Structure 1
Amino acid sequence: MECSICKKPTIKYCSRCQKRYYCSAFCQKKDYTNHKIDCPPRSADILVKNANENLMPTNIAVLYEYGFINCMQKQDKTMLLGLYIGLITIIGCSASQIHSWWENGELSIKIKETYDDGGFTSGYYKWFLKNEHVLQGLHKYEGEKSDKSIADRYYAIVKPYLSEQDQTVPIESLPESKHKIFALYLIILTGCIPNIEQDTWIDFGFCTCNVSQDHLGEEEEKRLGELYQELIVQKGCTIDEFNDAYVSGSVVDLLKRKCSDCNWLSKCGIEVFGYKQFRPSVYSLKQYALGDSVRLSPPIWADYGFMNCRTEDEKRQLRQMYTKLIKHPQFDPRDLHKACVSGKIFNYVRSILPNEVLKPYLLKNLYPLKKFE
């Protein structure tokens, strides 16, 4: 073969795509700007980046090719990430090594050899020795074909909770309310709670859980998730029964009736808004202020002053102010909603954050409504 730049004979090639040949590092660097467009990162490269940043992968190819999709419980995903973090950041394995192991179907074997040969032991590795199955039969992510495989696997988890009639029709043909419930059941049955950026976080009451400076409502959200787990797994609540409660706006009553130790639902003001019933935009504001990539929706834009922002910097400052407000221990979303519809957002924010530098014109909206005057 010949060098892609100077045409000299060479047997060296790009370790990532193995398609471009280079005679030297100089030629490879010279071609970098053009070649990076045609040489997208392998899943292993993304995995290494996530491990170095201690972040759970979100790339679907990484999740599919490196076993995360085989972990049905959130805790198992965390343990698998810890295994890779140890392999990459402590032992020092490169993306090329990991990719080669995966490509040759030797990932599980090589991980064990590497940990054992180096004398490395950890809770993550001990977990892996009992759960090697998550790295068995790994395949390349192939778009729609792989997506269907994942969907079929997840459908099998929730299927027992569907009625016999609903099991005979495509999920797409079910009512929208059942689509939403199906998503909740899948999350709960895999041992997770909704992510703040998911619609399910708002649809099923997690948005009404209190937050703090350190945790975005994790304790209360976890407790609500445990109640749903009891309702679905221990009590065997079917999707039809849950749907009846969801459509009628009585999910909280269903939880109180079926589950134990539900007093805190009322004590903490946990609400689950019924399907297509009115829900204050303050909860969408909360999601926007606390989420990383939630879009600014029209109701938030109109109700909470973002329509008054003349620059992106003002929009950023306003969002940061709401983030600080929502994390304050005295904050109550219902009080902010009342202040919003009575045209008194500035007064409410000032009462919670007296030392905050505020621009009154940013907090004006289209209200008040008469019943709050």
Structure 2
Amino acid sequence: MECSLCKKPTIKYCSRCQTKYYCSSSCQKKDYKNHKVECPPRSADILVKNAFEDLMPTNDAVLYEYGFSNCMKEQDKTMLLGLYIGLITIIGCSASQIHSWWENGELPINIKKAYDDGGFTSGYYRWFLKNEHLLQDLRKYEGEKSDKSIADKYLAMIKPYLSEQDQKVSLKSLSESKCKIVSLYLIILMGCIPNVEQDIWIDFGFCTCKVSQDRLGEEDEKRLGELYRELIVQRSCMIDEFDDAFMSGSVIDLLKRKCDDSSWLSENKIEVFGRKQFRPSVFSLKQYALSESVHLSLPVMADYGFKNCRTGDEINQLRQMYKKLIKTPQFDPWELHKACVSGKIFDYVRSILPNEVPKPYLLKNLYPLERFE
């Protein structure tokens, strides 16, 4: 091969893309401005960036090539990220080292060597020693082909719960309600619960659970998830049966009928709205207030005062007020809903947060309407 810049014969190449050849570091540096545009970052480079930012990877190639796609539980993904953060930010392993280990199929053995040689022990490393299989036989991400292998893995998980007829078609061709239920089943089977950003967080009642000051430990949401797990795993509830209950608005009745200790559902006002049932916008407000990535919907904008905001600062002020209100022990979404339809949001908020209420005009809405009287 010849140097991409001076054309001299060479066998040296760019370690990142492995397609551009250079005879010396001098030529490589001279060509850097041009080459960096066409030289895509390796998965290892993105992983290192995520590790320094303490962010869960979202890049498909990183997830596939570094074991995250093999994790069936969200907690395992978190532990794997912690392992890489220690490897990169504490032990000091570079992207080139990690890429080389991965490329040679020696990632697990070199991770152990790096931790052992450095004398580092942590909960993440101890977890890895019990879950080393997650980093075995890692392969290059190949787009649709790799996505299909992941989809096949998920299909194998969900297949026992599908009717014979539904097993013969693709999951995407199922009805809208069954697609939602499949998403719930997969999340529960992986030992997780829906994130607040997901539509199924509202669809399957997690939105009606109480919220504490620390959303990372929502005990009520976890308890609801445990009931769903009992229904799905222990009681082997088929998706068709769940779909019938979801469409008719009787999911709570299904849980009460099949699960132990389901009295908790009524005691804590947990509800699951049927596919065609009215869903108060207060739960969309709750989702918007608790998540930075959820967009403001038109019903929430009209019902809860955001249409009155004149500036972005006022929108943020209102959002933060609702977030604080929702995290208050006295908060009851149904009471806020009643205040909304009677045109008394300001009074309700003031009764719980007397020092946090914004200007009254911000909380005005179109209510009360005659049909609610």
Decide: shared fold, TM above 0.5: yes
> Counterpart of 1:336?
336
1:364 CA displacement = 1.6
> Counterpart of 1:355?
355
1:134 CA displacement = 0.8
Q: How does 1:245-324 map to 2 (within 5 A)?
A: 245-324=245-324
Q: What is the CA–CA distance in structure 2 between the aligned matches of 1:301 and 1:41, rounded to whole Å?
A: 41
1:370 CA displacement = 2.3
Q: How does 1:172-251 map to 2 (within 5 A)?
A: 172-215=172-215, 218-251=218-251
Any conservation in 2 of the 1:210–1:217 contact (CA below 8 Å)? no
Q: How does 1:81-92 map to 2 (within 5 A)?
A: 81-92=81-92
Any conservation in 2 of the 1:16–1:39 contact (CA below 8 Å)? yes
Any conservation in 1 of the 2:250–2:274 contact (CA below 8 Å)? yes
Any conservation in 2 of the 1:305–1:365 contact (CA below 8 Å)? yes
> Counterpart of 2:161?
161
1:89 CA displacement = 2.0
> Counterpart of 2:118?
118
1:59 CA displacement = 2.5
Moved more, 157-166 or 15-24: 15-24
1:14 CA displacement = 5.6
> Residues 298 and 86 from structure 1, CA distance in 2 versus in 1: closer, same or farther, beyond 3 angstroms?
same
Q: Is 1:152 aligned to residue 152 of structure 2?
A: yes
Moved more, 14-23 or 339-348: 14-23
Q: What is the CA–CA distance in structure 1 between the aligned matches of 2:38 and 2:326, rounded to whole Å?
A: 44
Q: What is the CA–CA distance in structure 1 between the aligned matches of 2:30 and 2:348, rounded to whole Å?
A: 57
Query: Partner amino acid for 2:256?
Result: K
Query: Partner amino acid for 1:254?
Result: L
Any conservation in 2 of the 1:56–1:81 contact (CA below 8 Å)? yes
Moved more, 334-343 or 178-187: 334-343
3-state secondary structure, aligned to 1:153: helix
> Residues 304 and 22 from structure 1, CA distance in 2 versus in 1: closer, same or farther, beyond 3 angstroms?
farther
Query: Partner amino acid for 1:111?
Result: I
1:286 CA displacement = 0.8
Any conservation in 2 of the 1:303–1:365 contact (CA below 8 Å)? yes
Moved more, 98-107 or 184-193: 98-107
Query: Partner amino acid for 1:324?
Result: K
Any conservation in 2 of the 1:16–1:42 contact (CA below 8 Å)? yes
1:22 CA displacement = 9.9
Query: Partner amino acid for 2:234?
Result: Q
1:107 CA displacement = 1.2
Q: How does 1:97-108 map to 2 (within 5 A)?
A: 97-108=97-108
Q: Is 1:134 aligned to residue 115 of structure 2?
A: no
Any conservation in 1 of the 2:16–2:42 contact (CA below 8 Å)? yes
Query: Partner amino acid for 2:240?
Result: D
Any conservation in 2 of the 1:325–1:353 contact (CA below 8 Å)? yes
Query: Partner amino acid for 1:281?
Result: S
Query: Partner amino acid for 2:198?
Result: Q
Moved more, 353-362 or 256-265: 353-362
CA RMSD of superposed structures (Å): 2.5
1:122-165 deviation line (CA, Å, top 9, x unaligned): 33223222322211221222222222221111011010011112
Moved more, 78-87 or 258-267: 78-87
Q: What is the CA–CA distance in structure 2 between the aligned matches of 1:324 and 1:253, rounded to whole Å?
A: 32
Q: What is the CA–CA distance in structure 2 between the aligned matches of 1:306 and 1:216, rounded to whole Å?
A: 27
Any conservation in 2 of the 1:252–1:272 contact (CA below 8 Å)? yes
Q: What is the CA–CA distance in structure 2 between the aligned matches of 1:170 and 1:24, rounded to whole Å?
A: 52
1:13 CA displacement = 6.7
Q: What is the CA–CA distance in structure 2 between the aligned matches of 1:173 and 1:113, rounded to whole Å?
A: 47
Query: Partner amino acid for 2:142?
Result: E
Q: What is the CA–CA distance in structure 2 between the aligned matches of 1:155 and 1:275, rounded to whole Å?
A: 24
Gaps of 5+ in 2: none
3-state secondary structure, aligned to 1:295: coil
3-state secondary structure, aligned to 2:215: coil
> Counterpart of 2:346?
346
3-state secondary structure, aligned to 2:230: helix
1:57 CA displacement = 2.3
Moved more, 316-325 or 277-286: 316-325
Query: Partner amino acid for 2:187?
Result: I
Query: Partner amino acid for 2:355?
Result: N
> Residues 8 and 220 from structure 1, CA distance in 2 versus in 1: closer, same or farther, beyond 3 angstroms?
same
Q: What is the CA–CA distance in structure 1 between the aligned matches of 2:246 and 2:154, rounded to whole Å?
A: 22
Any conservation in 2 of the 1:83–1:128 contact (CA below 8 Å)? yes
Moved more, 177-186 or 216-225: 216-225
> Counterpart of 1:38?
38
> Residues 224 and 26 from structure 1, CA distance in 2 versus in 1: closer, same or farther, beyond 3 angstroms?
farther
1:322-360 deviation line (CA, Å, top 9, x unaligned): 111111111111111111111221221121211115122
> Residues 2 and 314 from structure 1, CA distance in 2 versus in 1: closer, same or farther, beyond 3 angstroms?
farther
Query: Partner amino acid for 1:83?
Result: L
1:200-248 deviation line (CA, Å, top 9, x unaligned): 1111011111111122561111111111111110111111111111111
TM-score by length of 2: 0.90
Any conservation in 2 of the 1:14–1:22 contact (CA below 8 Å)? no
> Residues 36 and 364 from structure 1, CA distance in 2 versus in 1: closer, same or farther, beyond 3 angstroms?
farther
Query: Partner amino acid for 1:76?
Result: D
Moved more, 142-151 or 188-197: 142-151
